[in-house]
Structure 1
Amino acid sequence: MSRDSTSKELNDAGEVRRILIVSHTHRDEAVAATVQVVSALTQAGVTPVMDAQDLDEFSPHIDVEQIERLGTDVSATQLEVAIVLGGDGTILRAAELLRGSECPIVGVNLGHVGFLAEMESYDLATTIERVLRRDYTVEERLTLDVVATCNGEVIAETWALNEASVEKRRRMLEVEIGIDGLPVSTFACDGMVLATPTGSTAYAFSAGGPVVWPTVKAMLMVPIAAHALFDRPLVTGTDSELSVRILPENIGPGVLWCDGRRRTELPAGSIVRARTSSQSVRIARLNAAEFSNRLVQKFHLPVSGWRGARREGTV
């Protein structure tokens, strides 16, 4: 069926249904999964949508005439839902494509941990079926608005779903961290992670930060290898502003990364400020499992005593 077909994708109510497909572009299993999703959607009378990068990558494997281009044929605000095939990095790319829209994301894990992903690759057929039935709930995930300035001039205005990290380039950074415009501490470190609860299981976790349930309204500030007596992670409310200032006497620049995707060079004297954003990322949930269960499954946590017996009351 072509995009111009008279049997254009209409449901019983006469509406056009469009579902975005975002896929990892360099994995064999992603190719197979993408072909399966495109086929299932078109057979169900739903319009598949892909961004230009994905469509070009997968054009040898799919009929591009069946697919609309995001940003050319259709905008993100016209999408019903996004099916993301890959790991957390692919989901972060989808969140970037969908910024400013209300389109929810269903993640199908083709990676390693895939903490943001809702389903595993062996559940793909079930995932497609339930998405077509709109059989899911939606979680609103907090994001950060991030502004970097130097000498009073804005050098970056960006955002993050997981974290904004201020990192060294070569030498350690001398930083001053602050909350709500007030300095809290000064020390040398490899960097600082400013994270959301969603990001608490990502870079912030690797840096020694706490795991924060997604439903908690909070922001995290986690030092990376700090040379300080007080180097504990800090957790604030969502009304706070977090700041990291690279001291002017610092030797060499730093770098700002947001979700490991958006990069800004930070000269000495730069200040990075992060606040909660009014724009959330919507994650579609197909399972009613508690976050505790996801934590156990994704990190393979032991829930049995050393004698092997499962403790009463555990998952």
Structure 2
Amino acid sequence: MSRRVLIVTHGGRPEAVAALSEAVRELTEAGFEVALHDDDLAESFGDHMAAARAREGVTESEAVMVLGGDGTILRAAELTHGTGVPLLGVNLGHVGFLAESERDDLRQAVRRLAARDYEVEERAVVDVAVHLPGEDTPRTGWALNEATVEKARRERMVEVGIAVDGRPLSSFGCDGVVMSTATGSTAHAFSAGGPVMWPEVDGVLLVPLSAHALFARPLVIGPRSTYTVKVLERSPVPAVLTCDGRRRIDLPVGSWVEVRRGALPLRFARLSPAPFTDRLVSKFSLPVVGWRELAANRPGHRTEQGPRDDAAHEKEA
């Protein structure tokens, strides 16, 4: 029985076309049957039939290889969510936080895949339920990185109420609210001033966006708790919910969104045992050695007491 790999890539980029050609060649030589998926079939929020159609053929694959940046990996996640098939990301983008391999290591990645020399890591997602005015049944979705409630019009702030486990916590005007997984803590939530969460932290982060309030700090709840964000009746503008920057739904005034840790994690093929700390340092180019330490090691460095005056020293003696 032949082994099968599905490739997802960004077909419009020249570097992706070149990487695709090499990947197909290397996978074929390694004995894999290769299938391609290059349609940008973003599922609509709550349209689970569209998701099922997009995933056709995924379950027959041993892995899904993604050639691109984090955006392409998020697109591929729509194919594998709920299937148990692992994603193997080869970074062709800028940061590539979700990717496991770089472009120059593509051949080695194929060899490791062929030898089944990789670990499978599970990353939690968030499940999202949207309650719209006049509808009895909520519309459901999910996100790997984050679910974001934002104002639908730029000229005014949206008024939201925040609750945890059904208990009111705070309300304020803001540009929006980001609710992210630990995986998404280095994405939109990070740019909004939220903390970095290590992948094994089993919690959901909430970060307000430009909130007009005294208490509008990032929050982290546990895996059995739920955030509720309501677009208050007094809000001058409606809102919009976006999941992973791809799936969206309008939120009229009076709508509310529930976000909790998801039941079905996503699976990633990991080639390196390096800890998340090393990935963080590498992707963000963090200065492990600070400028003060670098300066102290330079020839002729002056201490905080200043240069030694030998003549004055002899006079004192």
| Shorter-chain TM-score tier | 0.7 to 0.9
Cα shift readout 1:263-309 (whole Å, capped 9, x = no counterpart): 10110011010111111100111011110011011011101132344
Once the two structures are superposed, the pairs formed by residues 141-180 of structure 1 within 5 Å of their partners are 141-151=123-133, 153=135, 154=137, 156-170=139-153, 171-180=156-165
Which of 105, 111, 123 is matched with 1:129 structurally? Answer: 111
Aligned to 1:41: 27
Q: Which SS does the other structure have where 2:287 is aligned? A: coil
Contact residue 30 and residue 111 of structure 2 kept, 8 A: no
Given that 2:9 and 2:38 are in contact with CA atoms closer than 8 Å, whether structure 1 keeps it comes out as no
> Could you tell me whether the CA contact under 8 Å between 1:38 and 1:48 is conserved in 2?
yes
Structure 2 segments unaligned to the other structure (5+ residues): 41-51, 297-317
Higher gyration radius (CA): 2
1:17 aligned residue:
3
Choose which of 212, 237, 244 in structure 2 pairs with 1:252.
237
Check conservation: 1:88, 1:114, Cα contact below 8 A. Answer: yes
User: How big is the shift at 1:256?
Assistant: 0.3
User: Are 1:32 and 2:14 an aligned pair?
Assistant: no
> What is residue 286 of structure 1 aligned with on the other side?
271
Aligned residue number for residue 314 of structure 2: none
Residue 220 of structure 1 corresponds to 205
Q: Does 1:50 align with 2:32?
A: no
Matches of 1:169 and 1:140, distance apart in 2? 34
**For the residues of structure 2 that align with 1:138 and 1:292, how far apart are their CA atoms?**
19
1:41 & 1:144 partners in 2: Cα distance? 33
Deviations 1:233-282 (A, max 9, x none): 00010100111100012112110000000010110011010111111100
Q: Name the residue aligned to 2:65.
A: 83
Q: 2:9 touches 2:37 (CA, 8 Å); kept in 1?
A: no
Q: Is the 8 A contact 2:11 2:38 kept in 1?
A: no
Higher relative contact order (CA 8 A, sep 6+): 2
What is the TM-score of this pair, normalised by structure 1? Answer: 0.85
Distance 1:30 1:203 in 2: 25
- Counterpart contact for 1:174–1:187, Cα < 8 Å: yes
Aligned to 1:57: none
Q: Secondary structure at the match of 2:248?
A: strand
Q: How does 1:189-200 map to 2 (within 5 A)?
A: 189-200=174-185
Q: Work out whether residues 129 and 258 of structure 2, in 8 Å CA contact, stay in contact via their aligned partners in 1.
A: yes
Q: In the superposition, relative to structure 1, how do residues 127 and 74 fare at CA in structure 2: closer, same or farther (>3 Å)?
A: same
3-state SS of paired residue (1:159): strand
SS of the residue 2:15 aligns to: helix
**What TM-score do the two structures reach when normalised by structure 2?**
0.85
Deviation at 1:168, TM superposition (A): 0.7
2:54, 2:292 → 1: CA distance?
60
Q: Structure 1 stretches of 5 or more lacking a match?
A: 1-14, 55-69
How many residues are paired up? 282
1:60 corresponds to: none
Shift in Å, 1:125: 1.1
1:14-36: CA deviation from partner (whole Å, max 9, x where unpaired): x2211110101221110001111
Could you tell me how far 1:71 is from its partner in structure 2? 5.8
Distance 2:227 2:218 in 1: 12
For the 8 Å contact 1:86–1:109, the answer to whether it is kept is yes
Q: Which amino acid aligns with 1:103?
A: V
Distance 1:123 1:98 in 2: 23
- Which amino acid letter does the alignment assign opposite residue 150 of structure 2? E
- Cα distance per residue 1:203-242 (max 9 Å; x no partner): 0101111100001111101100100101110001010011
